[in-house]
Chain A
């Protein structure tokens, strides 16, 4: 089954404690992306990757890191989480023939930073 998986699905942590949210896709997609969703703000892109070892900032990259060492994985790293990073996070992937087409979304990770 074609899917994007994220782990963990729920996470409560404390300020400053480094964490990683994993994302994996099994569709051999070139393009992967991380979004955060906050009430009234819709989805905002954090980082995206057009292929292995190619990453770039989205609209809200501050406080986040990513890496793309393998095509299927695109982990999101919060080196020193703060309460304003409490949010619902989505990973997504798509094929990328030079344009961003249909995105397949993971189920989401609800992060709470206290």
Chain B
């Protein structure tokens, strides 16, 4: 069953703006990961945040995790055309499986 659900389903922003997407999940987790997928290609790992962490940064990416609300957010700052992609959250719920959400499609307009 799908653990994570991303919100919004789709997002359109101007180049240079920030993009924020959210992920909610249902059960306790060991870690939460974010992936990017460019049109029909394989997913690429962006960042992993452990259940005992609240915030993590990687370049223009900022991820937060609120385990009390069972939610996470991914912020992409100063977006570029190359950030146009689908973004997925995935959770490791201590069951040796990684459960993905349906994704957020981000379009960055020039």
Q: Is the CB of B45 within 8 A of A102?
A: yes
Q: Is the CB of A43 within 8 A of B43?
A: yes
How many chain B residues touch A (CB < 8 A): the figure is: 24
From A33, which residue of chain B is reached at the shortest CB distance?
B98
Please measure, in the bound complex, the distance between the C-alpha atom of A40 and the C-alpha atom of B103, giving whole angstroms.
8
Could you say which interface size class chain A belongs to?
20 to 34
Q: With a CB–CB cut-off of 8 A, which chain B residues contact A92?
A: 43
Known pairs A90-B42, A103-B98; list 20 more (Cβ under 8 Å). Answer: A40-B102, A42-B2, A42-B88, A42-B102, A43-B43, A43-B90, A45-B97, A45-B98, A48-B97, A50-B96, A59-B1, A92-B43, A99-B92, A100-B30, A100-B31, A101-B92, A103-B45, A106-B42, A107-B42, A110-B40
Q: With a CB–CB cut-off of 8 A, which chain A residues contact B41?
A: 107-108
Q: Offer 5 A-B interface pairs, CB within 8 angstroms, sorted by A.
A: A43-B90, A44-B2, A48-B96, A102-B48, A108-B40
The A88-113 residues at the B interface (CB cut-off 8 A) are 88, 90, 92, 99-108, 110
Q: With a CB–CB cut-off of 8 A, which chain A residues contact B44?
A: 105
Q: Is the CB of B42 within 8 A of A45?
A: no
Question: Measuring CB to CB, which residues of chain B are less than 8 angstroms from any residue of chain A?
Answer: 1-2, 30-31, 33, 35, 40-45, 48, 88, 90, 92, 96-103
Q: With a CB–CB cut-off of 8 A, which chain B residues contact A62?
A: none
Q: Is the CB of B30 within 8 A of A99?
A: yes
Partner of A90, one of B33, B43, B45, B90: B43
